[in-house]
Amino acid sequence: MDKKLNPLNSIEDWEDDLLKRYPENPSEKKEEDFRDYKNSKRAESVKEFYKLNHQYQSYDFVCHKEATFLQFNQRKMSLWDALEFLNTLVDDSDPDIELDQLQHLLQTSEAIRADNHPDWFVLTGLLHDIGKVLCLFGEPQWAVVGDTFPVGCSFSKSIVHSEYFSLNPDSSNPTYQNKFGIYKENCGLDNVKMSWGHDEYLYQIVKDYLPKEALYMIRYHSFYSQHKEHAYNHLMDNTDIKMFEWVRKFNAYDLYSKAPVPPDSKALRPYYEDLVSKYLPDTLSF
Ligand SMILES: [Fe+2]
Ligand SMILES: [Fe+2]
């Protein structure tokens, strides 16, 4: 893998970095851990990753990726095939330490199930990261994972490493460089283009099959500058505000459901086969 284009050893390093930014119990965070982390090579690679992400995720870039991938002519797969395919994503990280993609998805869904949430919420846990198959279609890390944010209007200072947006061509386009950009106040997020990645891609694949709440969780689960920092309230309508309660609820399971014992995917499969067939068709077009 070209390190210049793909600086992260593993796409999981982005998620680990989120845990540093948004720890489950901020008060328990040790000062030494933080310093240690700051000096680590991984912190450097995460920075490099955001630099590429912020430099290249422009309005035109998003339009171009939508035109390519929203034709859904990459592959036809059942959800199970997609999960297995996603698990072939090998990266340079130590396989003994990192959980594979399926385990992260099952841990998320099992934690949601354990709290007796509706079955579509459990299903959302299982499938929310399947859009990461974009990596297997040859897309670079910065066009698959990372915090997402609106394009076509000014970049919020609360987006992580916002200093790198100075490298983005949209930063010198006056149309885009005010609070509302090409949008109207409170126009609703459905009218707002987000940076391209696994969230929007999967939303577009499953949008006809799941309840609205689930679709919000899938589409905006990496939009941290909104669900953690409330930076884009001015573009949201009342439905968005209500639905983001679900996005936040989901986010806690996505970030903090790492269990010490990995879930037994074989034993769980019958339950999830029934659940998947309740909501999704036999094959999905990617
Ligand atoms: Fe994700
Ligand atoms: Fe996730």
Q: Can you tell me the mean pLDDT for 259-278?
A: 92
187-200 tens-digit pLDDT: 999 999 999 999 99
Structure confidence at residue 39 as a pLDDT band (50, 70, 90): low
pTM check: above 0.75 = yes
More confident residue, 14 or 282: 282
70-82 tens-digit pLDDT: 999 999 999 999 9
Please tell me the distance between residue 128's alpha carbon and the centre of ligand 1 in angstroms. Answer: 6
Please tell me the distance between residue 188's alpha carbon and the centre of ligand 2 in angstroms. Answer: 25
Q: Which segments of the chain are extended strands (E)?
A: 76-77, 284-285
Would the CA dihedral through 89, 86, 122, 247 be positive or negative? positive
Q: Which of 168, 124, 166 is nearest to 142 (CA)?
A: 168
Ligand nearest the Cα atom of residue 108: 2
C-alpha distances out from residue 17 to 25, 48, 202, Å: 15, 13, 23
Predicted pLDDT of residue 29: 53
Tell me if 166 sits within 8 A of 154, measured CB to CB.
Answer: no
* Token reading at 119: 């079955």
List residues, by chain if needed, whose CB lies under 5 Å from ion ligand 2: 129, 254
- The answer to which of 83-87, 99-103, 141-145 has the lowest mean pLDDT is 99-103
